[in-house]
Amino acid sequence: MELSERKKRLLAAIVERYIATGEPVGSKTLVDALGLSVSSATIRNEMAELSALGYLEQPHTSAGRIPSDAGYRYYVDYLMGRYELPPNEKRLIDAKLEPAAGDARKVLENAGHILAEMTHCAAVSTTPADEAAVVRRVELVPIGVRTAMIVMLTSSGLLKSRICKTLSELTVDMAESFYNIVNANFIGKPAAAMTVAKIQTLAVSLGEKSLSMTPLLVALADVAAMTERTELLLEGQSNLLGYREYEQNAYELIEFLRRAEAMDRVFSEHPSSENGNLHVLIGEENLFRELQNSSMIFGKYAIAGHESGTLGLVGPTRIDYARLIPSLRYITEIVGKILSENVEE
């Protein structure tokens, strides 16, 4: 329902005060903080009405109130002020992410570190997923007489590698033959099509080169299979141990956040957001019991215009939504930009 302007001011003040202090907010505190020309008794009546509407709760026998999940939701949807990251913070984020631009997983790890440090929450992300990803580049890196590393970059921005052993010494001619085969058969083709059966068929057609090329091509198929699997990355989980809200379930929550299948379900329930906005799930809005005393903020990053993975934050319901939402939005956008540039190169 529509709230009066005074109720809106009171609800916003209670949410912001509770976020800042973690202590229930009383009527006298509100009168002093807002400079209202009304009595504490009037404020108490307003608070009682907000409680009756489900926006506030009264913990134990305290005279103060705290926001309910519905109170946080109303605040996020209608009352929260707009906060923009200052230019110096944006430059700092850019500087920390750019060095990892060649590796999507490393970019996401760095983004998670930054988010965890900035927000004091746990940061979760998924590596790029794209069933239609094509092979952009393949490198053969000799690291020994009979040992090489196969490195593959796909159109989803994912960089994967594997070390393989060869049956004979690596030579310039072997490397040249390998690149000729790769360029003719795999570059620009779907990574998912690079199956063991395809490699076996190709190896048969190579004649005398089959013996020397097969170990390299089998390793290449293994790398292609790795690019099809989405990874869940978790950073800053130890931050959750610092909140008293998690005194009873911090370790249970951390273990839950490590479960890729559960987090995939959370993200798949909210596959996209309008106009690039982030999803904000508060308390019991969360699908799983382990998250129902937490808030999650997450959104999709896009590579070359296609949604490719997720970046998000998990913390108690009294997180600073006004600051965390724009921080996560900016990092999500810059991750997509960096990974898109990597693919275009």
Q: Which tens digits make up the pLDDT trace of 208-230?
A: 888 889 999 999 999 888 877 78
Does residue 100 surpass a pLDDT of 90?
no
Mean pLDDT of 90-118: 90
DSSP 158-184: -EEEEEEE-SS---HHHHHHHHHHHHH
d(CA 141, CA 114): 31
86's CB contacts (< 8 A; 6+ apart) are none
Beta strand ranges found along 143-292 (DSSP E): 147-154, 159-165, 232-235, 279-282
Q: What average pLDDT score do residues 187-197 get?
A: 87
The pLDDT value recorded for residue 274 is 53
The mean per-residue pLDDT over the stretch 34-58 comes to 89
Distance CA(12)–CA(265), nearest Å, equals 32
How many C-beta neighbours within 10 Å does residue 15 have? 25
**What pLDDT, on a 0 to 100 scale, did the predictor assign at position 272?**
62
- The mean pLDDT value for 102-119 works out to 92
The model's confidence at residue 102, banded by pLDDT at 50, 70 and 90, is: confident
Q: What is the pLDDT of residue 282?
A: 97
Domains and CATH numbers, the chain: 5-79 (1.10.10.10), 87-129+231-344 (3.30.450.40), 135-227 (3.30.390.60)
Q: What pLDDT sits at residue 117?
A: 95
- Rounded Cα distance between 219 and 149, Å, is 9
Q: Is 80 exceeded by the pLDDT of residue 101?
A: no
pLDDT at position 32 over 90: no
Q: What is the pTM of this model?
A: 0.81
Asked whether residue 96 carries a pLDDT value surpassing 70, the answer given is: yes
Q: What is the mean pLDDT of the chain?
A: 89
Confidence band for 55, pLDDT divided at 50, 70 and 90: very high
343: confidence class by pLDDT, cuts 50, 70, 90: low
64-95 pLDDT, tens digit each: 899 999 999 999 999 998 888 999 999 999 99
Using DSSP's 3-state secondary structure scheme, residue 230 falls into coil
In the DSSP assignment, the letter for residue 83 is: -
Neighbours of 21 (CB within 10 A): 11
Residue 73 falls in which region: left (phi positive, over 0), alpha (psi -120 to 50) or beta: alpha
Q: Higher confidence at residue 156 or residue 128? A: 128
The answer to whether 73 and 84 are in contact (CB under 8 A) is: no
Q: Which of 165-174, 198-207, 231-240 holds the top average pLDDT? A: 231-240
Place of tokens 């970046």: 311
User: Exposed e or buried b for every residue in 116-153, given b needs 16+ CB within 10 A?
Assistant: bebbbbbbbbbbbbbeebbbbebebebeeeeebbbbbb
Where do we find the tokens 């799930």? 281
Cα 332 to chain centroid, rounded: 8
Angle formed by the axes of helices 40-52 and 27-34, nearest 10°: 110
Model confidence at 111, pLDDT cuts 50, 70, 90, reads very high
Which tens digit of pLDDT belongs to each residue from 225-273? 887 778 899 999 999 999 999 999 999 999 999 999 999 999 988 766 5
Output the CA torsion sign for 205, 207, 210, 211. positive
